[in-house]
Structure 1
Amino acid sequence: MQAMRWISTYLDAQMAEMDAADNTQSAYGRDLLDFAEWLTDAGQDFAHAARGDVERYLIHCEAQGLAQATRARRLSSIKGMYRFAFEEGWRTDNPAIQIRGPGRIKSLPKTLSVEEVERLLEAARSHGRSKSDRIRNTCLMELLYATGMRVTELVSLPVSATRGDPRMLLVRGKGGKERMVPLSPPARNAMAAWIEQRDKQAEVARGEGIAPSKFLFASKAKTGHLTRHRFYTLIKELAVHGGVSPAKVTPHTLRHAFATHLLANGADLRSIQTLLGHADISTTEIYTHVLEERLKALVLQHHPLATDNG
């Protein structure tokens, strides 16, 4: 009971003070519940755990084979909760304050070639159970590639932000931060076609006494909009239909493709940082390494002096 009270109070405060995203809150909650269960098995609790207990928990996480990024996030969750507990007077110390985490490995993001993206877009235009599905799928994919939005930002886009054939979209990102992203002509055309189709469907629903949805991609899901999981499944279906390896394709690889293709065509890092909604430019800088790796591979593959003729 004590553990649940600590966790819920801490997460409520995080949401109120930092407007933390729902996905972040959920991840932190799961991390802290796992730590609480481990402490219980060790005969300990949040109120009395010492630095050694936190360190032994991290060793336990490593022994389980958890990824370095996951272990780093778990320590961040624990540190945040104990910082809050100290400020609230629940504890007179912070047992996690001096513990250094495993850090994060900056692996190069997987991306797609321009040709692969074009195949996915073509698949969206031709794949779907109905004409309405095909128009919606085209809009989803064109918007994702044109803006580099995160999947949550895309599926939860309010229809009010898309009215009037806008040249720019206002996107609400992580932590409630808003940014403007420009729309390409193909994305605007796809969006206009979907809004027309969507409004027809909303009119029929209204005649049946169903209130219109506020989301561009409405659904019967509890959220009221297309879920991240359904879109993930859809993009895999489009990959198969378009002849692109499904293992390479996720909503996030389209976001990476957006960034790397912009960089390859001369866009500067600061602009890409703004468009992606990155808080720190160091996060955006990883795309320069992606470009370097692709250029290196291109040279090794095609330059005559790169071939070992014995």
Structure 2
Amino acid sequence: MTSPVSSADPAALAAETALVEQWLDASWMEKGLSDHSLSNYRRDLLQLAQWLLAQRQYGLAGCHRGDLYDYLADRQKQGVSARSVARQLSALRGFYRWLLREGRISEDPTLRVERPKLGRPLPKTLTEADVDALLRAPDTATPLGLRDRAMLEVLYAAGLRVSELVGLTLTQVSLRQGLVRIVGKGNKERLVPLGEEALAWLERYLREARAVLLGGCASEQVFPGRGGAVMTRQTFWHRLRQLAVQAGVHKPLSPHTLRHAFATHLLNHGADLRVVQLLLGHSDLSTTQIYTHVAQQRLRQLHAIHHPRAGNPRPKMGSDKHDTDGEP
């Protein structure tokens, strides 16, 4: 296990800390790293320095590839996740490339050290009942609640990114055709149908609430913020969390939650993967394929519950004259 800081030679550890701080200063100047990133990198490097001093009796500049393999294996034995190990290795690569560039080492020990394999996480999603509860949460007797209901309906019906939703302008919406024209990542344009429910709430909001919320201000935004300004993603995210609490939805939420639900529910109901790809605006089908795993999980659950040979006990054939399971 990694030795505690107090077990290392204080003078040696101070020298290692000074070296790490030099690299952090250089990285901040070159890349403008955030305080959070700098703090993580500092911790990652000092953990290795501490291990080297205790296990090898030399510091970061003396590290060899074999040392890194032993250290990373030690970290994984301690229960550190593969994702954390991969992040630490990324910090080490940057540090040793800097040492090599500065002429302080002759060989980069991180070369040919492979990242641990990371399983691609399944997107967090909501059930259809969760979504229904969330959509019903706003108080539509008020202009603000009517706006929130329309925003949620449009977000879920069209599978928009939050940035696409808050940036939506009046010229991008065709109420007559029931479509929204979205300019997504890479300035790629797509047309997405809204569906009757979302269209009805959007029309009602535009008719009854938008002008009230604007209070005489001019705005091209479909869902403007205060004073007609563009609503921020953070403002919408704050409202979404409040509404989730009201709806009794206590699952983990993210700004993409309803977008994930949109894709998963479409696939659960038999939509073609390439259609979902077009609706989401994914340039690569592999990006969309992650949702098939979520849908397959749901299919397995339904199969386990309803299929007669999925492991659920059934009456034997002929055991009950009223048994109708054998009907075609």
TM over 0.5: yes
Q: Give the equivalent residue in structure 1 for 2:4.
A: none
Q: Give the equivalent residue in structure 1 for 2:26.
A: 5
- 3-state SS of 2:143 partner: helix
Cα distance change of structure 1 residues 32 and 68 upon mapping to structure 2, 3 Å threshold: farther
Bigger Cα Rg: 2
Q: Give the equivalent residue in structure 2 for 1:268.
A: 272
Whether 1:239 aligns to 2:253 is: no
Q: How does 1:1-310 map to 2 (within 5 A)?
A: 2-10=23-31, 30-39=36-45, 42=49, 67-73=81-87, 75-76=89-90, 79=93, 81=94, 95-124=109-138, 126=139, 131-155=142-166, 157-159=167-169, 162=172, 165=175, 167-173=179-185, 176=186, 178-185=188-195, 186-194=197-205, 197-204=209-216, 216-219=223-226, 225-228=231-234, 230-243=235-248, 245-247=249-251, 249-278=253-282, 280-306=284-310, 307-308=312-313
Displacement of 1:271: 3.0
1:35-72 CA-partner distances (Å, limit 9, x unpaired): 1354367399xx95856587688679768866533543
Displacement of 1:133: 1.5
1:180-238 CA-partner distances (Å, limit 9, x unpaired): 251314434444555564455445457xxxxx696844259xx963343x544433433
Cα distance change of structure 1 residues 70 and 270 upon mapping to structure 2, 3 Å threshold: farther
Displacement of 1:288: 1.9
Between structures 1 and 2, the one with greater helix share: 1
Displacement of 1:116: 2.9
Q: Give the equivalent residue in structure 2 for 1:16.
A: none
Cα distance change of structure 1 residues 94 and 136 upon mapping to structure 2, 3 Å threshold: farther
1:71-101 CA-partner distances (Å, limit 9, x unpaired): 435545665x5798699x6678655342212
AA matched with 1:118 = D
Give the structure, 1 or 2, with the largest relative contact order (CA under 8 Å, sep 6 or more): 1
Of 103-112 and 197-206, the range deviating more from structure 2: 197-206
**8 Å contact kept, 1:159–1:214:** yes
- 3-state SS of 1:168 partner: strand
**8 Å contact kept, 1:269–1:285:** yes
- 3-state SS of 1:98 partner: coil
1:260-294 CA-partner distances (Å, limit 9, x unpaired): 12223333223323433445433322322222221
| Number of equivalenced pairs | 276
**8 Å contact kept, 1:195–1:216:** no
AA matched with 2:153 = E
Provide the rounded CA distance (Å) in 1 between the counterparts of 2:187 and 2:38: 26
Displacement of 1:304: 3.5
Provide the rounded CA distance (Å) in 2 between the counterparts of 1:119 and 1:239: 8
The unaligned stretches of length 5 or more in structure 1 are 12-24, 207-211
Provide the rounded CA distance (Å) in 2 between the counterparts of 1:259 and 1:117: 13
AA matched with 1:286 = I
Provide the rounded CA distance (Å) in 2 between the counterparts of 1:114 and 1:202: 33
- 3-state SS of 2:182 partner: strand
- 3-state SS of 2:160 partner: coil
Provide the rounded CA distance (Å) in 2 between the counterparts of 1:76 and 1:110: 26
AA matched with 2:110 = A
AA matched with 2:243 = L
1:95-143 CA-partner distances (Å, limit 9, x unpaired): 534221222223433433333322221223x36xx71221221122112
Displacement of 1:169: 2.8
Cα distance change of structure 1 residues 260 and 227 upon mapping to structure 2, 3 Å threshold: closer
AA matched with 1:36 = R
**8 Å contact kept, 2:172–2:181:** yes
RMSD (Å), alpha carbons? 4.4
**8 Å contact kept, 1:168–1:182:** yes
**8 Å contact kept, 2:135–2:152:** yes
**8 Å contact kept, 1:82–1:96:** no
AA matched with 1:113 = T
- 3-state SS of 2:232 partner: coil
Provide the rounded CA distance (Å) in 2 between the counterparts of 1:240 and 1:3: 41
